[in-house]
Amino acid sequence: MQQQDSKNKKGILGRYGLIVSILMLLAGAIVFNAAKIVFTAEGKRWREVGEKETVIKNRVILPKRGNIYTHDGKLLATTEPLYSIYMDFWAEGLNKDTLKVYVDDLAQALARKFPVRSAAQYENVIMNGLRMRESEERQLKINKENGSNKRVPLRSRYVRIIPQDISYVDLKEIRTFPFWDQRSNRSGLIAEERNARKKPFGNLANRTVGSVYKDLDKGGASGLELKYDSLLIGVPGVKYRQKIQGRWIDVVEKPAEEGWDIVTTIDADIQDIAERSLRSKLIETAAESGTAIIMEVESGEIKGIVNLDRMSNGGYAEGNPNAFSYMNEPGSTFKTVTAMVALDDGVVTPTDSFYVGDGLFQYNNRWVRDHYWRRGQDRGYLTVAEGMAVSSNVVMSKIVLKGYEKNPRKFVEGIDRIGLRKQLKWDVPLNGIEGTTSIRFPDDKTNYWSNTTLPWMSFGYETMVPPIYMLMFYNGIANEGKMIKPFIAKQFLKNGKVVKEVKAEVVNPRICKPKTLKQIHEMLLGVVEEGTATVVKSDYFSIAGKTGTAQIASGGQYGGYYVSFCGYFPADKPMYTIFVGLRKPQGTPSGGGMAGMVFKNIAEQTYVRKVQHTVKDLIIDPELPKDPVIKHGNWEYNQTLLANLDYHLGALDEKTDWVKISHEGKGYQPKAIPMEESLVPDVRGMGARDAVYLLEKMGLRINLTGSGKVVSQSFPPGQKLVKGTTITIRLQ
């Protein structure tokens, strides 16, 4: 028995030893293969395969592009993430049968949220993706059965479901939709993120703020976006994606650095006022384009800048940066430069007079003409101040000929002395000579100097000055002789902290002698008070400025006009300087009646919003009537209003829909407004709603400026009415 037990024991030990030996051999093989993987080229290859399956390296983290703000922190341009929505039909956990159950509910939810496609179309897109996967699976199975290792291209892997990119808020919502409310490896939902530029104020200051390329990685394309692209764009970061427990996780190696923010000088309220005022006049005059720039006198900050071009559909939109780049002969706004140089050089005094006669003057076989020359009116002699007021080309020509005919170089040196020939760089990128002045010099071979160049330069021809330079020059007059460069980019912020602050560059600390400055100021006041721009005169404050009307040269001949007005207000203590220019307006060209009216509208609305009143200004005058002022207009509405206010309203003698309301001691008295279909009605004293309704009903087009009640209308009451024409009504 013992012998048998011993024999069994030896057998068991033998078998155990065999098992141990086999396990040791397996362990050795494992160690050998592990060492082989670690230390040989084959191991390196397998590690690379593993990393490809579980790690995706060197993925770029796009930085957030910096914001652009108004002067008080309103967003003009910002970056927000947008997402392209795809489905991965080869996602590991995607259950085809479950998708088929929920696809109808998913399609219905998508159609409600994004109606660009119907529910049936969404369902068709999803099911087509699923059918393509099934087709490819069948092909893979056939290849496998045939012993083929040929790969099938996975056309169905990623299918775009929603045509447009969506916001992060929308992304969170669609992740609650049927079937898409699972983890991404089961739902197949993929959201591909990209940065996009958004302008919360729409097209406000659109050309100045600029644009970026559709592919945001390429950066800015125009305006501030291009000028300061290197600061706005930021620094990309680096991350890698690692697959852990079936889920991809982003691991950041180097975080992206956000771009710098830019605070501009733009005031959204003034910008809006300027844009609406200019657009209204462009529509009224059917002009090709227009520019308006508003600059704060002391600081040099541009508070509003508008560049509107007529589009192919007849509307107006921000197009070229005309404020900086429009190169044209400025016309009569340049007469202020001529007068300043001549006064400063002692060539003339404001009271010196020149014979103008009927407004015609011949010099070297070429005629200089004043705007009134066709009337045949003999005006005799005009002083320098009177010549500026009535914008006489003859007076300006005779001034420069008196002082500079034998030495024209001295006149251009005077322009140089002011600083108008300096080449300056602006916040808006430009090419070539755009954005600089082109003022001829007698010794300059590149610009031909003829025997009539000097007198024609005196009233703004044979020279080119962009609007921004004229603005800068007139602002120098308003700023007590100190000419500063207008600018837009005010502060640069990094992580919310100011890292750079911009101050206006002084182009010339003194553009002329103090005595000359005072004389020029008085002349510019005279232009508005009693000269060619009386229409610009305001009831609220004084304005100083100069009109300009210049023919446009094209292809060696002239065609169309550029009308402008440049000035400042209030003239006694200037706050803002404004330039307004209109290119090729229809009708009789008028620097005052066209560009000047835009100036006035911008100035008055800006003054109302921006001027701070003292307590003394706001004290109620005890002499003022206590009863409310009732506007003229619809009889029924006025009856209802006064009845609700419990005021007495007198009886109306005749039946009518439109009345004038006068206030007498015993109450309000109505009087019928005469109405005839063929005559222009009297809308003075009405509010905007009643006036516009009545005039449109009569078949007229309306151009409305100001606010309050109508104080003037361009067609007088009782004039024969021509349907389809435009009537301008001014409210105050």
Residue 4 has pLDDT above 80, yes or no: no
* pLDDT > 90: percent of the chain: 46
Q: Which of 85-89, 411-415, 425-429 has the highest mean pLDDT?
A: 411-415
Residue 514 has pLDDT above 70, yes or no: yes
Widest Cα–Cα separation across the chain:
157
> Given this model, what pLDDT does residue 404 score?
95
Cβ distance 311 to 324 under 8 Å? no
Q: What is the mean pLDDT of residues 585-597?
A: 93
Contacts 24+ apart (CB under 8 A), 411-415: 411/341, 411/454, 411/457, 412/439, 412/440, 412/441, 412/442, 414/340, 414/341, 414/342, 414/344, 414/345, 415/337, 415/341, 415/439
> Given this model, what pLDDT does residue 113 score?
92
Residue 219 has pLDDT above 90, yes or no: no
3-state secondary structure (DSSP) of residue 253:
strand
**Which residues are CB-contacts of 620 (< 8 A; sequence separation ≥ 6)?**
none
The model's pLDDT over 457-493, given as tens digits with 9 standing for 90+, comes to 999 998 999 999 999 999 999 999 999 999 999 999 9
Of the pLDDT bands very low, low, confident and very high (cuts 50, 70, 90), residue 728 is: confident
Of the pLDDT bands very low, low, confident and very high (cuts 50, 70, 90), residue 220 is: confident
For the chain, how far is it from start to end, CA to CA, in angstroms? 131
> Given this model, what pLDDT does residue 157 score?
78
Q: What is the pTM of this model?
A: 0.72
Residue 1 has pLDDT above 70, yes or no: no
Is 268-610 CATH 1.10.260.40? no
The model's pLDDT over 536-575, given as tens digits with 9 standing for 90+, comes to 999 999 999 999 999 998 777 788 999 999 999 999 999 9
Q: Which of 129-133, 377-381, 567-571 has the highest mean pLDDT?
A: 567-571
The model's pLDDT over 45-98, given as tens digits with 9 standing for 90+, comes to 555 555 555 555 666 777 888 999 999 998 899 888 889 999 988 888 888 889
Where exactly does CATH 3.40.710.10 map onto the chain?
268-610
d(CA 86, CA 456): 67
> Given this model, what pLDDT does residue 615 score?
60
Q: Is the dihedral of CA 355, 357, 359, 363 positive or negative?
A: negative
Cβ distance 195 to 25 under 8 Å? no
Rounded to 5 degrees, φ, ψ at 642 are -70, -35
> Given this model, what pLDDT does residue 144 score?
76
The model's pLDDT over 670-686, given as tens digits with 9 standing for 90+, comes to 888 888 888 888 888 88
Cβ distance 232 to 225 under 8 Å? yes
Of the pLDDT bands very low, low, confident and very high (cuts 50, 70, 90), residue 290 is: very high
Of the pLDDT bands very low, low, confident and very high (cuts 50, 70, 90), residue 115 is: very high
Q: Which two tokens stand for residue 487?
A: 């600018």
Residue 183 has pLDDT above 60, yes or no: yes
Of the pLDDT bands very low, low, confident and very high (cuts 50, 70, 90), residue 340 is: very high
Q: Is 69 exposed, middle or buried (0-12, 13-18, 19+ CB in 10 A)?
A: buried
Angle at 655 between CA 653 and CA 656, to 5 degrees: 115
Q: What is the mean pLDDT of residues 432-438?
A: 80
Bridge pairing between strands 68-69 and 261-264: parallel
Q: What's the length of the chain?
A: 732
Q: What is the mean pLDDT of residues 177-188?
A: 89
Where exactly does CATH 3.30.10.20 map onto the chain?
674-732
674-732, CATH topology level: Trypsin Inhibitor V; Chain A (3.30.10)
The model's pLDDT over 8-57, given as tens digits with 9 standing for 90+, comes to 666 666 677 777 778 777 777 777 776 666 666 655 555 555 555 555 56
CA distances from 357 to 339, 364, 377, 531, 682 (A): 21, 18, 8, 18, 41
Specify the amino acid at residue 294: I
Dihedral, CA of residue 355, residue 359, residue 360 and residue 363, to nearest 10: 50
Residue 382 has pLDDT above 90, yes or no: yes
Residue 708 has pLDDT above 90, yes or no: no
Q: What is the mean pLDDT of residues 629-648?
A: 76
Of the pLDDT bands very low, low, confident and very high (cuts 50, 70, 90), residue 176 is: very high
Residue 413 has pLDDT above 60, yes or no: yes
Start-end of H helices in 566-622: 597-610
Per-state percent for the chain, helix, strand, coil, to nearest 5:
35, 25, 35
Contacts 24+ apart (CB under 8 A), 604-613: 604/538, 604/540, 604/706, 605/273, 605/277, 605/706, 605/707, 606/270, 606/273, 606/294, 606/576, 607/540, 607/541, 607/569, 607/570, 609/269, 609/270, 609/273, 610/269, 610/270, 610/575, 611/575
> Given this model, what pLDDT does residue 7 score?
61
* Listed range (22-26, 325-329, 384-388) with the worst mean pLDDT: 22-26
> Given this model, what pLDDT does residue 623 score?
58
Q: Which two tokens stand for residue 302?
A: 């541009």
The model's pLDDT over 97-108, given as tens digits with 9 standing for 90+, comes to 899 999 999 999
* Listed range (261-265, 434-438, 534-538, 635-639) with the worst mean pLDDT: 635-639
d(CA 413, CA 63): 51
* pLDDT > 70: percent of the chain: 89
Q: What is the mean pLDDT of residues 186-200?
A: 85
> Given this model, what pLDDT does residue 152 score?
57
Residue 3 has pLDDT above 70, yes or no: no
The model's pLDDT over 224-252, given as tens digits with 9 standing for 90+, comes to 999 999 999 888 888 776 666 555 667 77
Rounded to 5 degrees, φ, ψ at 88 are -95, 100
Rounded to 5 degrees, φ, ψ at 480 are 60, 35
Of the pLDDT bands very low, low, confident and very high (cuts 50, 70, 90), residue 440 is: confident
Start-end of H helices in 571-652: 597-610, 635-644
